Amino acid sequence: MVENQTANRSLIAVTICALLLGGCSTSANDGAAGGDGAAASADSAAVTQETNGGHDGTAEIGSQTVELSAEKPEVAPVAKNNEPNRIAMNLPEDPSTQMSFNWYTTDDVPGSMVRVSTDAGMAEPLEFPAETTEVTSEYAERDKDGFYIYADIATNDDGDFLLDDDGTPQEVHGYFTDAQLDRSNTEWTSSGSDLGFLELHEVTEHTNKATATGLEPGTEYFFEVGSEEEGFSEVGSFRTSAADSEEFSFIHYTDTQNAYWNANVNNEAAYGANTLELARETAPKALFALHTGDFVETAAVEDEWVDNLDMSQDSNLQLPHAYTPGNHDEYRLRYQNGKNLESFNNHTNVPITNDAVTGGSYYSFDHSGAHFVILNTNDNKESEDNLEQGAIGQEQMEWAKQDIAQAR
């Protein structure tokens, strides 16, 4: 995290995780670029079977011996939640007159909106209706007490999971939950799925996207998101950008990543929330935060977005964000299943230039006389637009050149 002061400059943000954190390359899913993601996760764990398959016994998970059950614990449903959650406040192209918001609810709540007022008590608010979209989220399977359900399954000599073509384990030795695991036993993990074979289950939810428009530049506003029917969030605040060049501060942080992604045992989302709080204390006048990617470790795991966004909610309600997509922000749990191209944009309300969504989007914005360009290196997939699989394709490159030329 650093504080930056800038004016009259163009800045380009791309994911910079590799420069900042060695942990970036330790993900199970980093193998997705050319290796075996799920398999790599088991490399550092001596997962051995001490009983004949299918019966109660024990397994060595990292530094611990866990008891296995032959029966898989019942998967508990994800509780319905129509209180606005996973709230994000994002910079649109013109943050001097607009501000964008994103939040989740289980249902399509009628009358979802953002209310904006110059009064801290929300007097005479302007109302902007939300666009609500049904999405399918994938949550980790948990038991009724919220513990993750893991299977101890057969592996090859390298410790790689032995899976059939459809991704199902070839041999299940038994089941355990993370209720048995100690925090010290997550030191060798980089994701929640390193501890054993974990499955996700689909849940229908809704995203709500709203943009407040027609605001006054350089003005403090208060806001709340939600609905009359289900209630509103706590009141947050933001300051619109100055219309012209003006010295300003912003916070830059990156790779919240949420390694382990397991709040029961160890959860990096809490560290991310704390880092952001300390950054705000250090830079109390910061007008926004630039996050340069790898918001989560594994984009397909909804639990991670819940943890990262909700644990940082106090900060997120007071600080607009410019999010940059990182490579992890399009990962599925197992690389065989391809990439998750929508999750980043489902959880954010950042501009989408050229309708180009591929594990995120690219866009630009002006703030107090500085021009920011956010590139999307998840555009690195081989296609007609990107024959040599460069970091970005031709269309994005052409757009970036034009965008920067126009900003000069």
Which candidate, 328, 347, 325, 349, places its Cα nearest to that of 339?
328
Shortest distance, CB of residue 21 to Fe ion, whole angstroms? 6
Q: Which of residues 277-296 bind Fe ion (CB under 5 A)?
A: 294
For residue 149, state whether it binds Fe ion (rule: CB under 5 A). no
Q: HEC string of the chain?
A: CEEEEECCCEEEECCCHHHHCHHHHHCHHHHHHCCCHHHHHCCCCCCCECCCCCCCEEEEECCEEEEEECCCCCCCCCCCCCCCEEEEEECCCCCCCCEEEEEEECCCCCCCEEEEECCCCCCCCEEEECEEEEEEEEEECECCCCCEEEEEECECCCCCECECCCCCECCEEEEEEHHHCCHHHHCCCCCHHHHCEECEEEEEEEEEEEEECCCCCCCEEEEEEEECCCEECCCEEEECCCCCCCCEEEEEECCCCCCCCECCCECHHHHHHHHHHHHHHHCCCCCCEEECCCCCCCCCCHHHHHHHHHHCHHHHCCCCEEECCCHHHHECCCHHHCECCCHHHHHCCCCCHHHCCCCCCCEEEEECCEEEEECCHHHCCCECCECCCCCCCHHHHHHHHHHHHHHC
Q: Of 255 and 307, which CB lies nearer to Fe ion in the complex structure?
A: 255
Give the binding range for Fe ion (CB under 5 A) out of 9-17, 125-133, 235-243, 380-388. 9-17
Is 36 or 297 the residue whose CB approaches Fe ion more closely?
297
CB of 31 to Fe ion, least distance (A): 14
Work out whether 24 is an interface residue with Fe ion (CB under 5 A).
Answer: yes
| Residue 350 in contact with Fe ion, rule: CB under 5 A | no
Minimum distance of Fe ion from residue 17's CB (angstroms): 2
Residue 209 or 252 with smaller CB distance to Fe ion: 252
Binding mask of the shown chain, residues 292 to 321, with x at each position contacting Fe ion by CB under 5 A:
--x---------------------------
Give the residue with the Cβ less far from Fe ion, 331 or 362: 331
Instruction: Tell the smallest beta-carbon distance from residue 178 to Fe ion (Å).
Output: 24
Total binding residues toward Fe ion, as defined by CB under 5 A: 4
Which of the ranges 13-21, 68-76, 231-239, 341-349 carries the binding residues for Fe ion, by CB under 5 A?
Answer: 13-21
Residue 329 sits in the site that holds Fe ion (CB under 5 A): no
Which residue's C-beta sits nearest to Fe ion? Answer: 17
Q: Which of 323-349 are b and which e, b meaning 16 or more Cβ less than 10 Å from the residue's Cβ?
A: bbbbbbbbbbbbbeeebbebbbbbbbb
Q: Cβ 308 to Fe ion, closest distance in Å? A: 13
Nearest to Fe ion of 17, 319 (CB atom): 17
CB of 253 to Fe ion, least distance (A): 12
Considering the complex, state which of residue 205 and residue 255 has its C-beta at the smaller distance from Fe ion.
255
Q: Which of 15-30 are b and which e, b meaning 16 or more Cβ less than 10 Å from the residue's Cβ?
A: bbbeeeeeebebbbbb
Contact status: 17 vs Fe ion (CB under 5 A): yes
Is position 39 an interface residue for Fe ion (rule: CB under 5 A)? no
Stretch touching Fe ion by CB under 5 A, among 11-19, 137-145, 300-308, 385-393: 11-19
Q: Does 152 bind Fe ion (CB under 5 A)?
A: no
Residue 330 within binding range of Fe ion, rule CB under 5 A: no
| 242 is a contact residue toward Fe ion (CB under 5 A) | no
CB atoms within 10 A of CB 364: 23
CB of 294 to Fe ion, least distance (A): 3
Q: Is residue 269 involved in binding Fe ion (CB under 5 A)? A: no
The residue written with tokens 């999750």 in the block is 343
Cβ partners under 8 Å of residue 275, min gap 6: 1, 253, 256
Q: CB of 261: closest distance to Fe ion in angstroms?
A: 14
Listed ranges 44-52, 76-84, 247-255, 350-358: which one lies at the site for Fe ion (CB under 5 A): 247-255
- The answer to whether the Cα torsion of 129, 131, 136, 138 is positive or negative is negative
Interacting residue with Fe ion among 178, 199, 205, 255 (CB under 5 A): 255
Q: How far is the CB of 276 from Fe ion (least distance, A)?
A: 16
Tell me if 198 contacts Fe ion by CB under 5 A.
no
Nearer to Fe ion, 294 or 304 (CB): 294
Bridge partners (DSSP) listed for residue 238: 221
> Shortest Cβ distance from residue 358 to Fe ion (Å)?
18
User: Residue 225 interacts with Fe ion (CB under 5 A)?
Assistant: no
**Which spans of this chain sit near Fe ion (rule: CB under 5 A)?**
17, 24, 255, 294
